């Protein structure tokens, strides 16, 4: 888990971190390295401990046990004011009675900067966040998105080594959110500031982060790049939490083999023993449709792994704009239905409709096997 | 990935404190110490006083008796031995008050003051005391007396500890009857006030009648006067020379009737505010549902209106109950021979110098007060839950007939309130009621009366200003510390408890506790006794809770993360406090100061034990002038308090508006 | 530090100079004298001693006594000027008074001086019980004027009499103690039992019953002669009645509180209180003063009052005060208001 970047030393190192609230353990033995200039997202459902971890890094709620090192300095027991970070909260926490300019200048005062210097820096920051004309207004006079940018400007005003974002976008409506995602990412890249963002929104994490830390019940489930965690989820929880995933109770065979319903299929290698109860999983978009016209004209419809191909009946079809979501029933699965996303082209060419039968294939390199959740 | 489920052993991380943390904790400790010194310790002193008793110690004296020729043969007798022999006194007869005395001759059945027999008396210990006539004798020297003088020897009791005071309290009907009286008065006043205030609030919230603003203003007027003032008005209205005494059909206003009418007057605004708030938040959707279900208005009233306002009603009831049962001024003025607990404390302490019994009555009075307070807190916490529901405000619709009935009712209540005040003002300007009805300003020559004259009035203003300024600073800062500091959970919980306590402590009790605590020469804080400082401290403490709650409510509405942001920007918390917290909370801060000002002007109960010749107060002057029979000047001074408070309110309004436009510009989009 | 000294020194000096120029001493004087007389007394005293400022603490007799007793370990008063002798005896028995024989004490009637070797208190004037009777209200109620204490127990007066509560009022206590002395212990309580039936209520202060009678709140107020005369002078339709059995009285007296910060000034004040000029000052309200031959008749004062004064046993009053008050409270306090 401890990768190193070019300069060899992680910027922020978390080792053996625990946090207890009475008997409840909110963080259990968390260790994590974050590198200089990296954008890391803590992703997980509410109550998973991601905000607790962020607040421990900031020193706002001290961990019960464990060490936090920032820029080679042990900061484990320092109060927030002795640490080096800027923070943006979900509520923005802008001072309502101060103008935008004064809000941004708040942290610049008493730092040895002269008044004109402060003034210049504030103007620079307003430009940076794209709100050069709003300085004289009060926070309540700005829109939510604008307020968020001001909060960001205030947090980076003093050039902190670490930028912490606590669900910064969740109070905004969907359109603004998507727009701001890019802006924040852009700004972070420009400034090169190491950034940790807490979010429960997987799309946000996938689109913004260099690395995602997926958390659940106070432990880290997986750390990896967005494609890693999406393509190669380490656990069923990660597989389920990020994106869509079909989950079918099955029985493990030898490595690379799994029995679903009545037939054995070929899957990704695994080390479950024979006959171990497992969950076979595949993402809806990975299901391959077969049949006349399944490939573009001239293409050949080849079944790569016959063991993994079988006949299904289309039970239900739902049009979701860029693709069709189909519920497929099969004798093999009994009551369970398989969800598959087919492109609009494929549906047209195969002339799919409810109650039609078709052949599908579950590609062996996309068919994964996990331990059932409750077995953990 | 370790799948650990238990904390490893080893030390827990203890955060280093930032300078701000240290400052905040120090501040909290300072204010907590303040609350301990100004409330907890005095109350403790009072409690221990209630267990401090006096007893005659019969073995504390020795007596020799001579023969007829006057020569002593040396036998030493003690009253204890003599009593064991003669059985003159039983054990209970030895219980005493601080001021009791007991003769010695009763132990000598054949005593005659004409006899030539001589006596020698002495204390057995240095602590012993006895009197010869009025001469105090201490020490263990023998004192020789002839028979005629021996007759004048009186033993003095010594201090001891026990439940004796409580036993004697509950065996004196004159005293414990007051419990029944107090409860009765409080319950009756509560029922009447809450009923009247409910319909008044109902009319203002649920009808379309006119002059709502004026009625609201009138309803609040009684808050601006001391609770004694309605008593004085009642004397002029229903006393033996009263203007409309016929309305009582021969019953006397001096007693429960007077107390109840006066209590309704001075508790009305308190009940009105609470019930009005409760009615204002009721949900219009429920009424729409009722209409669509074709419920009759009567049924709607009982199934929607009353349940919706029930927490307000209960809360109002307990607040009124508490105000009435702890009030001292009104029963003092109009109560006649009808004894209530609060007046008993005054009578025991001021009239009879019986501080121990005063402490006992205080303990008795605290019990219902704390109970009422506790229930009120419980109910209020539920009310909050109700408030947070997403509701639509109710919009009344015009109903001419009902509106007119409500208008008529409100006019009656307003006439009652305004009438009481007008009567006082009228009486103050009359030369000599009822024999000389010409107008004169004679009653404003306060310097010729008891109570400290015009000086008292200016003292009161000084007290009110000091209380408002100092109290607001201490209370708001204390609330900030407790609300916004990190960690230190136990400390904050204890602080919170201290801050809630004053509301449950009746003013009389607090004042008496202050005597016990601060008038003790061994107390290093003794020097503030008899100064303006002790009045300010006492008043701030007395009215701490409501102000604290106002401050906490305002602070809770501030974003919780301001402190975090400020710390991350490496700015001192005090900068945040002065630049952001104080300006944003300015409306609440102004509310606290006017609350403290008005109450400092009108309070009687706590300060009545604490004022000194240099710090006489207007409200106390009202009491003292009434006591001396100068009722018209008392009314005049009471109205001065009213006008001052009204002026303060107006200034507060103007100030708030000015401050609001300056500091709250951000509120307007 | 240096800076502080440089400005503090002249400031301190000027403060000293200011106090020296005025040379003012302040005395805290506890008193139960009628409020309207306070200024006059202080002015007369200051004519002789402009350097001593009198800070009055005025309250009813019971309250002042209570205050003094409460402060017994930490006295706030320097001098008591104008408090009932009964109360001063009580203070003396607590060892709270500083014995002092003021210059000219030998000019006073010995009855008016404490009996110790060095007196602890000296009397000023006598203050005598009387009944204030509002003629207008009495006529309205169809009453005839009472002539004796016993008359007041007549059923006719039911609900028409107010008297002070002896627990808080010196006047009330001297009434009670005089009845116990005149009628005997048993007879006294019997009398009060009967009187209680007619009492409308008991007031906190001794002057209030007369003021209430003057204002017509009640036809009959048991109070003291001085107050009655004052109200009559103010134009109240009052008659001041001296009950035929005799009337209780008490002295107003002066004493120095032991442990005063300024004994010298206190002694100057007490010296003044026994001068002829002071006696004349008291005489404007009180018909009997401590110095024989000074008193002139007081306007509106009832005739025959001096002869009616009983031989008061102050020691009896002081030493039995606690038990009398306890008994009184048991019998009459806290009963619901008599119906009338």
Minimum CA–CA partner of A154 in chain B: B569
Residue reference for tokens 């109009």: B334
pLDDT at A263: 83
Do B190 and B239 touch, CB atoms closer than 8 A?
no
pLDDT at C35: 76
| A88's tokens | 């943006």
Tell me the C-alpha to C-alpha distance, in Å, between residue A353 and each of A301, A339, C139, C165.
Answer: 20, 15, 114, 105
pLDDT at A204: 94
| B82's tokens | 């003599």
Judged by CB atoms closer than 8 Å, whether chains meet at B519 and C70 is answered as: yes
Across B256-274, average pLDDT: 95
Minimum CA–CA partner of A158 in chain B: B569
**Nearest CA to CA, how far is B213 from chain A (Å)?**
31
Q: Compute the C-alpha angle B272/B278/B283, nearest 5°.
A: 145
User: Domain ranges in chain A?
Assistant: 12-240, 244-375
Task: Using DSSP, state whether C262 is helix, strand or coil.
Answer: coil
Residue A295 binned pLDDT confidence (cut-offs 50, 70, 90): low
Residues forming beta bridges with residue A32, ordered by sequence position: A14
Residue A293 binned pLDDT confidence (cut-offs 50, 70, 90): low
Do C121 and C213 touch, CB atoms closer than 8 A?
no
**CA–CA gap between residue A262 and residue A258 (Å, rounded):** 10
CATH tag, B167-436: 1.10.3720.10
What average pLDDT is seen over chain B?
88
A216/C60: higher pLDDT: A216
A139 interface with B at CB cutoff 8 Å: yes
User: Which segments within chain C are labelled E, that is strand?
Assistant: 25-31, 52-58, 79-84, 97-98, 121-134, 161-164, 199-203, 220-224, 238-241, 249-257
Contacts of B582 in chain A (CB under 8 A): none
| B407's tokens | 């208008």
State yes or no: pLDDT of C59 exceeds 90. no
Phi-psi domain of B462 (left: phi exceeds 0; alpha: psi -120 through 50; beta: other): alpha
Judged by CB atoms closer than 8 Å, whether chains meet at C321 and B339 is answered as: no
Q: In the structure, do chain A and chain B come into contact, i.e. share 3 or more CB pairs under 8 Å?
A: yes
User: What CATH topology corresponds to A244-375?
Assistant: OB fold (Dihydrolipoamide Acetyltransferase, E2P) (2.40.50)
Residue C339 binned pLDDT confidence (cut-offs 50, 70, 90): very low
**What is the tens place of the pLDDT at every residue in B38-63?**
999 999 999 999 998 888 889 899 99
Locate CATH 1.10.3720.10 in chain B. 19-44+456-616, 167-436
Contacts of B565 in chain A (CB under 8 A): 87, 89, 93, 154
Which of B153, B148, B111 has the alpha carbon at shortest distance from B128?
A: B153
pLDDT at C19: 41
Q: Which residues of B touch A (CB under 8 A)?
A: 1-5, 7-8, 10, 12-21, 486, 559, 561-562, 564-571, 575, 579-580, 583-584, 663-667, 669
**What is the share, in percent, of chain B residues with pLDDT greater than 70?**
96
pLDDT at C336: 37
Quick check: do A12-240 and A244-375 share a fold?
no
Residue A164's CB: how many other CB atoms inside 10 A? 23
Of C94, C168, C326, which has the smallest distance from its Cβ to B136's Cβ? C94
Burial class (CB in 10 A: 0-12, 13-18, 19+), B500: middle
Across B476-505, average pLDDT: 86
Across B440-445, average pLDDT: 90
Do A214 and A43 touch, CB atoms closer than 8 A?
yes
Contacts of A93 in chain B (CB under 8 A): 559, 561-562, 564-565
Q: Compute the C-alpha angle A294/A297/A300, nearest 5°.
A: 60
Give the dihedral sign, CA A102/A103/A105/A108.
Answer: positive
Contacts of B239 in chain C (CB under 8 A): 217
Do B596 and B547 touch, CB atoms closer than 8 A?
yes
Across C135-145, average pLDDT: 93
**What is the tens place of the pLDDT at every residue in A312-354?**
999 999 999 889 999 999 887 777 889 999 999 889 888 889 9
**What is the tens place of the pLDDT at every residue in C45-57?**
999 999 998 888 8
**What is the tens place of the pLDDT at every residue in B99-116?**
788 888 889 888 888 888
Do C263 and C98 touch, CB atoms closer than 8 A?
yes
**CA–CA gap between residue B543 and residue B532 (Å, rounded):** 17
B315/A164: higher pLDDT: A164
**CA–CA gap between residue B100 and residue C26 (Å, rounded):** 35
Residue A227 binned pLDDT confidence (cut-offs 50, 70, 90): very high
CATH superfamily of B19-44+456-616: MetI-like (1.10.3720.10)
Least confident of B611-615, C129-133, C308-312: B611-615
Across B499-517, average pLDDT: 90
What average pLDDT is seen over chain A?
90
pLDDT at C20: 40
Residue C4 binned pLDDT confidence (cut-offs 50, 70, 90): very low
pLDDT at A6: 47
**Nearest CA to CA, how far is B266 from chain C (Å)?**
23
Contacts of B574 in chain A (CB under 8 A): none
pLDDT at B383: 61
Minimum CA–CA partner of C64 in chain B: B350
Which of A57, A77, A41 has the alpha carbon at shortest distance from A160?
A: A57
Judged by CB atoms closer than 8 Å, whether chains meet at A93 and B565 is answered as: yes
Neighbour subunits, C (≥3 Cβ pairs < 8 A) = B
Across B407-416, average pLDDT: 95
**What is the share, in percent, of chain A residues with pLDDT greater than 70?**
95
Judged by CB atoms closer than 8 Å, whether chains meet at A64 and B3 is answered as: no
Residue B187 binned pLDDT confidence (cut-offs 50, 70, 90): very high
Phi-psi domain of B353 (left: phi exceeds 0; alpha: psi -120 through 50; beta: other): left
Minimum CA–CA partner of B447 in chain C: C36
pLDDT at B359: 92
Across B313-323, average pLDDT: 91
The domains located in chain C, with CATH, are 23-126+250-283 (3.40.190.10), 127-249+304-332 (3.40.190.10)
Least confident of B217-221, B352-356, B636-640: B352-356
Do C172 and C164 touch, CB atoms closer than 8 A?
yes
**What is the tens place of the pLDDT at every residue in A16-45?**
999 999 889 999 999 999 999 999 999 999
Least confident of A76-80, A294-298, C208-212, C256-260: A294-298
Of A62, A66, A80, which has the smallest distance from its Cβ to B564's Cβ? A80
Across B327-333, average pLDDT: 92
Give the pairing of strands C220-224 and C161-164: parallel
Which of B233, B265, B258, B643 has the alpha carbon at shortest distance from B427?
A: B233
**What is the tens place of the pLDDT at every residue in C166-225?**
987 888 999 999 999 999 999 999 999 999 999 998 988 888 999 999 989 999 999 998
| B161's tokens | 């500890």
Phi-psi domain of B64 (left: phi exceeds 0; alpha: psi -120 through 50; beta: other): beta
Residue C329 binned pLDDT confidence (cut-offs 50, 70, 90): confident
Helix/strand/coil (H/E/C) assignment for every residue in B80-144: HHHHHHHCCCCHHHHEECCCCCEECHHHCCCCCCCCCCEEEEEECCCCCEEEECCEEEECCCCEE
Residue A210's CB: how many other CB atoms inside 10 A? 17
| C184's tokens | 């005997």
C161/A173: higher pLDDT: C161
Compute the radius of gyration of chain A from its Cα atoms.
Answer: 25
Do B325 and B336 touch, CB atoms closer than 8 A?
no
What average pLDDT is seen over chain C?
85
State yes or no: pLDDT of B388 exceeds 80. no
State yes or no: pLDDT of B586 exceeds 80. yes
Least confident of A103-112, C238-247, C293-302: C293-302
Residue B392 binned pLDDT confidence (cut-offs 50, 70, 90): low
Give the dihedral sign, CA C320/C325/C331/C337.
Answer: positive
Residue reference for tokens 């002092």: C100
Residue A298 binned pLDDT confidence (cut-offs 50, 70, 90): low
| B530's tokens | 């008899």
What residues have CB less than 8 Å from A114, skipping those under 6 apart?
none
Q: In the structure, do chain C and chain B come into contact, i.e. share 3 or more CB pairs under 8 Å?
A: yes
**Nearest CA to CA, how far is B483 from chain A (Å)?**
15
Residue A74 binned pLDDT confidence (cut-offs 50, 70, 90): very high
Start-to-end CA distance of chain B, whole Å, equals 52
**Nearest CA to CA, how far is C51 from chain B (Å)?**
19
Judged by CB atoms closer than 8 Å, whether chains meet at A111 and B570 is answered as: yes
Residue environment code for B211-220, b if the CB has 16+ CB neighbours within 10 A, otherwise e: eeeebbebbb
Tell me the C-alpha to C-alpha distance, in Å, between residue A370 and each of A44, A217, A340, B3, B534.
Answer: 19, 18, 19, 17, 75
Contacts of A109 in chain B (CB under 8 A): 571
Residue B663 binned pLDDT confidence (cut-offs 50, 70, 90): low
**Nearest CA to CA, how far is B551 from chain A (Å)?**
18
A57 interface with B at CB cutoff 8 Å: no
**CA–CA gap between residue A77 and residue B102 (Å, rounded):** 71
State yes or no: pLDDT of C11 exceeds 50. no
**CA–CA gap between residue B201 and residue B276 (Å, rounded):** 5
**CA–CA gap between residue A78 and residue B17 (Å, rounded):** 8
A63 interface with B at CB cutoff 8 Å: yes
Across B394-403, average pLDDT: 84
Residue B667 binned pLDDT confidence (cut-offs 50, 70, 90): low
Neighbour subunits, A (≥3 Cβ pairs < 8 A) = B
Enclosing H/E stretch for A20: strand A12-21
Q: Read out DSSP for B20-52?
A: HHHHHHHHHHHHHHHHIIIIIHHHHHHHHHHTE
**What is the tens place of the pLDDT at every residue in B67-92?**
888 888 888 999 999 998 888 888 77
ipTM of the complex: 0.85
Neighbour subunits, B (≥3 Cβ pairs < 8 A) = A, C
pLDDT at B665: 64
pLDDT at B574: 92
Q: Where are the alpha helices (DSSP H) in A106-173?
A: 115-128, 144-156
Residue A2 binned pLDDT confidence (cut-offs 50, 70, 90): very low
Which of B101, B103, B107, B110 has the alpha carbon at shortest distance from B149?
A: B103
**Nearest CA to CA, how far is A359 from chain B (Å)?**
40
Across B623-647, average pLDDT: 93
pLDDT at B4: 55
State yes or no: pLDDT of A120 exceeds 90. yes
CATH tag, A12-240: 3.40.50.300
Residue B550 binned pLDDT confidence (cut-offs 50, 70, 90): very high
Minimum CA–CA partner of A105 in chain B: B569
Contacts of A60 in chain B (CB under 8 A): 486, 564, 567
**What is the share, in percent, of chain B residues with pLDDT greater than 90?**
44
């Amino acid at each position: 888990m401890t990768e190193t970047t070019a300069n060899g030393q992680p910027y922020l190192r978390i080792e053996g971190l625990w946090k207890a609230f009475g008997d409840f353990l909110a963080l259990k033995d968390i260790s994590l390295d974050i590198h200089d200039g990296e954008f890391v997202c803590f992703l997980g459902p509410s109550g998973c401990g991601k905000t607790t971890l962020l607040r421990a890094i900031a020193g706002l709620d001290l961990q019960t046990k464990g060490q936090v090192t920032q820029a080679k300095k042990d900061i484990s027991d320092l109060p927030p004011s002795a640490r080096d970070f800027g923070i943006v909260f979900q509520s923005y926490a802008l001072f309502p009675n101060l103008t935008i300019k004064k809000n941004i200048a708040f942290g610049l005062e008493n730092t040895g900067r002269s008044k004109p210097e402060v003034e210049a820096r504030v103007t620079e920051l307003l430009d940076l966040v794209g709100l050069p004309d709003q300085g004289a207004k009060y926070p309540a006079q700005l829109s939510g998105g604008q307020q968020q940018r001001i909060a960001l400007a205030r947090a980076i005003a003093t050039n902190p080594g670490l930028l912490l974002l606590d669900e910064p976008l969740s109070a905004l409506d969907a359109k603004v959110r998507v727009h701001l995602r890019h802006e924040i990412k852009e700004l972070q890249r420009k400034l090169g500031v190491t950034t940790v963002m807490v979010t429960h929104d997987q799309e946000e994490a996938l689109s913004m982060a260099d690395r995602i830390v997926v958390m659940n019940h106070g432990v880290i489930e997986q750390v990896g790049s967005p494609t890693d965690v999406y393509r190669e989820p380490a656990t069923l929880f990660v597989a389920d939490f990020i994106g869509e995933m079909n989950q079918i109770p099955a029985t493990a065979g030898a490595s690379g083999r799994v029995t679903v319903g009545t037939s054995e299929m070929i899957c990704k290698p695994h080390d479950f023993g024979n006959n171990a109860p497992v969950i076979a999983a595949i993402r809806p978009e990975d299901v391959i449709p077969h049949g006349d016209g399944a490939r573009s004209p001239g293409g050949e419809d080849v079944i790569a792994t016959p063991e993994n191909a079988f006949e299904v009946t289309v039970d239900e079809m739902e049009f979701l704009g860029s693709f069709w979501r189909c519920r497929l029933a099969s004798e093999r699965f009994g009551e369970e239905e398989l969800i598959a996303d087919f492109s609009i082209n494929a549906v047209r060419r195969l002339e799919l409709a409810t109650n039609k039968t078709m052949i599908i294939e579950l590609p062996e390199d996309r068919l994964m096997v996990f331990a059932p959740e409750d077995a953990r | 990935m370790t799948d650990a489920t238990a904390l490893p052993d080893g030390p827990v991380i203890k955060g280093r404190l930032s300078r701000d943390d240290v400052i905040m904790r120090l501040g909290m400790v300072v204010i907590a110490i303040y609350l301990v010194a100004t409330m907890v310790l005095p109350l403790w002193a009072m409690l221990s006083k209630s267990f401090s008793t006096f007893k005659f110690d019969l073995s504390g004296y020795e007596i020799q008796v001579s023969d007829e020729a006057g020569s002593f043969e040396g036998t030493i007798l003690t009253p204890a031995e003599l009593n064991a022999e003669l059985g003159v006194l039983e054990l209970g007869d030895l219980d005493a008050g601080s001021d009791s005395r007991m003769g010695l001759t009763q132990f000598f059945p054949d005593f005659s003051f004409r006899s030539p027999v001589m006596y020698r008396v002495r204390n057995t210990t240095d602590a012993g005391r006895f009197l010869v006539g009025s001469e105090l004798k201490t020490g263990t020297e023998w004192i020789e007396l002839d028979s005629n003088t021996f007759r004048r020897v009186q033993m003095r009791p010594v201090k001891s500890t026990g439940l004796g005071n409580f036993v004697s309290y509950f065996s004196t009907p004159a005293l414990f009857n007051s419990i029944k009286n107090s409860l009765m008065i409080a319950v009756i006043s509560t029922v009447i006030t809450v009923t009247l205030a409910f319909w008044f609030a109902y009319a203002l919230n649920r009808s379309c009648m006119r002059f709502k603003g004026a009625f609201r203003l009138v309803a609040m007027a009684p808050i601006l006067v001391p609770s004694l003032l309605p008593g004085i008005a009642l004397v002029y209205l229903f006393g033996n020379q009263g203007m409309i005494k016929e309305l009582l059909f021969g019953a006397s206003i001096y007693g429960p009737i007077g107390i109840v009418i006066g209590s309704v007057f001075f508790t009305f605004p308190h009940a009105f505010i609470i019930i009005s708030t409760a009615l204002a938040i009721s949900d219009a959707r429920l009424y729409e549902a009722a209409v669509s279900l074709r419920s009759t208005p009567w049924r709607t009233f009982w199934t929607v209106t009353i349940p919706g306002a029930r927490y307000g009603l209960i809360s109002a009831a307990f607040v009124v109950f508490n105000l009435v049962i702890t009030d001292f001024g009104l029963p003092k003025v109009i109560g006649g021979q009808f004894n209530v607990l609060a007046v008993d404390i005054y009578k025991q302490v001021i009239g009879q110098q019986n501080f121990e019994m005063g402490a006992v009555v205080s303990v008795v009075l605290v019990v219902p007060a704390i109970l009422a307070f506790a229930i009120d807190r419980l109910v209020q916490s539920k009310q909050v839950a109700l408030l947070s529901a997403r509701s639509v405000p109710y919009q009344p619709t015009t109903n001419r007939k009902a509106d007119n009935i409500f208008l008529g009712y409100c006019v009656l209540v307003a006439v009652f309130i305004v009438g009481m005040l007008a009567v006082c003002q009228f009486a103050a300007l009359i030369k000599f009621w009822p024999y000389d009805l010409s107008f004169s300003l004679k009653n404003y020559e306060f310097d010729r009366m008891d109570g400290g004259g015009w000086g008292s009035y200016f003292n009161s203003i000084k007290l009110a200003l000091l209380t408002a300024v100092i109290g607001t600073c201490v209370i708001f800062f204390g609330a900030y510390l407790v609300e916004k500091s990190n960690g230190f959970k136990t400390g904050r919980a204890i602080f919170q408890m201290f801050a809630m306590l004053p509301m449950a402590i009746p003013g009389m009790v607090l004042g008496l506790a202050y005597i016990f605590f601060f008038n003790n020469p061994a107390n290093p804080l003794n020097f503030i006794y008899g100064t303006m400082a002790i009045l300010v401290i006492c008043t701030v403490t007395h009215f701490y809770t409501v102000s604290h709650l106002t401050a906490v409510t305002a602070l809770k509405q501030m974003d919780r993360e301001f402190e975090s942001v400020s710390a991350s920007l490496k700015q001192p918390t005090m900068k945040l406090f002065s630049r952001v917290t104080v300006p944003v909370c300015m409306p609440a801060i102004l509310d606290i100061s006017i609350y403290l000002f008005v109450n400092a002007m009108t309070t009687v109960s706590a300060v009545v034990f604490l004022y000194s010749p240099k710090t006489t107060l207007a409200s106390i002057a009202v009491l003292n002038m009434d006591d001396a029979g100068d009722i018209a000047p008392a009314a005049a001074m009471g109205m001065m308090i009213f006008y001052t408070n009204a002026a303060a309110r107006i200034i507060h309004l103007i100030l708030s508006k000015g401050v609001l436009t300056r500091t709250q510009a951000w509120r307007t989009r | 530090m240096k800076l502080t000294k440089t400005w503090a020194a002249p400031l301190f000096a000027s403060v000293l100079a200011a106090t020296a120029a005025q040379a003012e001493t302040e005395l805290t004087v506890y008193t139960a004298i009628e409020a309207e007389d306070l200024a006059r007394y202080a002015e007369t005293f200051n004519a002789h001693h402009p350097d001593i400022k009198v800070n009055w603490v005025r309250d009813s007799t019971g309250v002042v006594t209570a205050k003094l007793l409460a402060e017994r370990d930490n006295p706030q008063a320097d001098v008591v000027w104008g408090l009932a002798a009964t109360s001063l005896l009580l203070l003396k028995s607590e060892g709270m008074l500083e014995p002092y024989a003021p210059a000219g004490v030998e000019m006073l009637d010995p009855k008016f001086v404490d009996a110790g070797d060095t007196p602890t208190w000296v009397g000023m004037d006598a203050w005598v019980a009387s009944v204030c009777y509002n003629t207008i209200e009495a006529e309205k109620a169809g009453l005839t004027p009472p002539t004796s204490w016993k008359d007041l127990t007549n059923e006719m007066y039911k609900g028409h009499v107010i008297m002070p509560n002896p627990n808080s009022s010196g006047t009330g206590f001297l009434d009670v103690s005089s009845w116990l002395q005149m009628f005997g212990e048993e007879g006294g309580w019997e009398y009060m039992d009967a009187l209680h039936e007619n009492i409308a209520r008991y007031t906190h202060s001794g002057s209030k019953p007369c003021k209430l009678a003057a204002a017509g709140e009640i036809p009959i107020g048991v109070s003291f002669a001085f107050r009655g005369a004052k109200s009559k002078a103010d134009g109240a339709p009052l008659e001041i009645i001296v009950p035929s059995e005799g009337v209780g009285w008490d002295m107003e007296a002066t004493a120095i509180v032991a442990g005063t910060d300024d004994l010298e000034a206190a002694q100057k004040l007490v010296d003044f209180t026994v001068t002829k000029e002071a006696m004349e000052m008291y005489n404007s309200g009180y018909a009997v003063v401590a110095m024989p031959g000074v008193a002139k008749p007081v306007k509106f004062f009832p005739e025959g009052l001096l002869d009616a004064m009983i031989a008061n046993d102050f020691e009896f009053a002081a030493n039995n005060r606690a038990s009398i008050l306890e008994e009184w409270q048991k019998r009459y306090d806290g009963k619901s208001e008599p119906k009338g």
